[in-house]
Chain A
Amino acid sequence: MNACADEAAVAARTSPPRIVTERGQREVFCGLTGIIWLHRKLQDAFFLVVGSRTCAHLIQSAAGVMIFAEPRFATAIIGERDLAGLADANAELDRVVSELLARRPDTRLLFLVGSCPSEVIKLDLSRAAQRLSRQFMPRVRVLNYSGSGIETTFTQGEDACLAALVNELPELAAAAPKSLLIVGTLADVIEDQFRRLFAALGIERVDFLPPRRATELPAVGANTRFLLAQPFLADTARALEARGARRIAAPFPLGVEGTTLWFEAAAREWQIDAAHAHSVTAAASERAARALERHRPRLAGKSIFFFPDSQLEVPLARFLARELSMRLIEVGTPYLHREHLAEELALLPAATQITEGQHVDRQLDRCRAAQPDLAVCGLGLANPLEAEGIVTKWSIEFVFTPIQGYEQAADLAELCARPLIRQSLLAV
C-alpha cells in the first residue's frame, strides 16, 4: 500500500490536483449545525446559541425529526428590546443562563455559541463567559465559541468549539511521557476500536478530544503528539500547537488505506517497528478490504461529483477513487486546508479537479453537464437533483454516521453504494 502511495505521490507531483477557488452563493450550513453531534458526544455539556429565530430554526430543521425529550441545546433569541437597548443584553443573557442552569442542574460545561446577529451587534460572549464562569464555577464552566455563518461553515463549528476547549485543558507535566491525543469527534464505538489498536501497537497514553464528559478533559503539553481524526480542525490544531503539542501529519482514517497510513504515522512517531505495526493492523485491514470488495462492483468505474459541505470531501474522494475505483469529476470543498490535507492531496489521482468555495448555480450547471453517476450534496440540493435524474448521496450522513476506521470502511462504501442500488431496484 505504501508503494501505491508513493506512485500516487509521484503522479501528484507531475500532475497535481487542479484547485479552483470560486465565489458566489454558498449552499452550506453554518457552524451552529455542529451542535447536533457535539451535544450527543459531550454528555454533560449544554450549548446555548445566542442568536435569532433563524438560528433556532436552523438547528431544529437540521436536526430534522430527532426531537429529544429536552435536548442539551437551546437558543437565547435576541429580541427587539435587546437591540433597541431597552434591555441590557448582558443582563438578559445572565438571566437566561441562570434560568437554564436551574432547569438543567446536570450541566457541567456550558457553551455560549455566537451567531451572526450576536457578532454583528458585537455582543462580547467571551467576556460574558468569563463573567458567568466566575458566578457558576466550580459547578459549571462557561466557555464560548462562534458558530456563526459569517465566520464558520458547517463543520468549522466543531473546530471552533474544540479550539475553545483546548484553552481549558490541564497542563501536561513537562516530565510526563509522550502521549497521544486524537482530535475530532468520533463515535464511541470507533474510539473503542482505536484504543484497542493503539494499545496493541504499544502506545499507552491515548486521549480523545472531545472527551465524553467535560469533567474528563485530557492534559496537553510539549509531550503531546496529536493526530487529527477530522479534516476540518484548523483552529483546534493551531491552539494545540500553541500549547506545545505537535501534529503528526497523516491522511485521515477513512477507508482501509487511510486508516493504515494514519496508524502508521503514529507508529513512526513512537518509533514502533514497522513489522510490528503491520502485524497489529493486518488482521483488521484484511478483513476490511474483504468487506469492501462486496461493494466494488457497484461503484467501480462510476463517476462522482462532490458539492462542498463538510470538508470531508477530499479524503472521501481519495478513498472512493483509490479503493473503489470511482472516477472523480469534481471535488468541491468549502475550504481546503492545504497543510492538513497535504498527505491526502498527494494520494489523489492525477489532475483531480478540486473546487474550493462555491457558486452554487454554476456548480449545478457543471454537474448537469457532467451527468455523474452519483452526486454528493446537501439536503437542499438532493431532491431537485434526483428530480432531474441525478442520483445523490446526502453529505450530512458522513458526519452523523460512524465511517472512520477499518470496521467502518465497508459501511462507508455502502453509504455511497446504497443510492445506486436503490436506483437499480426501482421500477416505478
Chain B
Amino acid sequence: MSRRISYREALREGLREALLNDPRVLLMGEDVGRYGGTYAVSKGLLDEFGPDRIRDTPLSELAFVGAGIGAALGGLRPVVEVMTVNFSLLALDPIVNTAALYHHMSGGQFSVPLVIRMATGAGRQVAAQHSHSFEGWYAHIPGITILAPATVRDARYMLAPALSDPDPVLIFEHAALYNMEAELGDEEPVDIRSARLMRDGSDVALITYGGSLYKTLAAAEQLAMRGISAAVLDLRVLRPLDTGAIVALTRQCRRVVVVDEGWRSGSLAAEVMARIVEHAFYELDAPPARVCSEEVPVPYARHLEEAVLPQPEKIIAAVEALLGVSS
C-alpha cells in the first residue's frame, strides 16, 4: 500500500528500522535527543530508544566523529549526525585521516563500519557559513562512500545498505528537501552503487544529484513543452560514481549538461564531465556543459542567493546554448 510521507519522515523511518533491527546501532550527535534533531529527523526516537542509543553529544565535532570511528571499531554500528556539512569541517581530520584510511593503512586488519549523516546545501537564506555544498569535496577521497539521497525513497532506504557496508559511508541530506513529500510503496529497497534515470529523453542528458534534482526535473518539464526531450539522471552515489550510467546516457543523448550546487572549479560536475570526455568523447555532438554555483560566498539576500545557485532557467539556457536554439 503506497502512502505519502516527507523526506524527513522517511529518514526517521529508516533510522527507526535500523535501531529496531540491530541493537548495535546508535545515533549520536548534537541535539539528536532532547531537542529532537536540528531538522527534527530524530524526533521521538529518544523516547523510544533511550539516551544511550539516541545520544546527545557536546559541541565537539572532532571528538564525536572520532568516537564514532572508535565505536565502530569496537563493535557498534554508529550513525553519527553532524548538524550540517558546514560544521563537518571541524571533523575533517577524523573523517579523512582516520576513517577513510584505516582499512588500507592497517593492511586490511581493521574496518570502520560507520555512517555519518549531515545536512548540506543552500537555498534557505542562511548566508555563507551555513550554505556550503561540500559533498563533492568528500567524493574526492578513496576509502569512503558518498551518498546524496534526493528522493523520499532514497531517504527511506539508503541507510540500511549504508549500515551494512563494512566501511565508512557519508550521507548528505539536502536541507531544502526535508519537507518534500512523495508517494512511497511498502518496500522499495535501494542499492548504494548506481545512478537512477528519473526521466528518459533523447535530445540532452541532464546529470545531477541532491537538491538540484528537482530544479533539473522542472527544467526538463519546461523543455518538453518546447519539444526538447531531456533525460534526467540522479547520480545518488557520488563515490563511487556510476560511470556506466553516465556514459550510457551520454551515448543515448549525445549532449550533456551537468547540474551541481557545488562551486564550479574542482566540482563534482568537473569529474562527471571528465569521465564523459574520457569515455564518450567521439559520441558527443557538442562539448559537455555545466550549471554550478557562482564562485562567490553564498549571499543572504534572497534575490542574490537565487542568482548564485543553479536554477531551472539557467539549466534551460545551458541546454538551448548546447542545441543552438533560442527561446
Chain B associates with chain A = no
Residues of A within 8 A of B (CB): none
Q: Which residues of B contact A (CB under 8 A)?
A: none
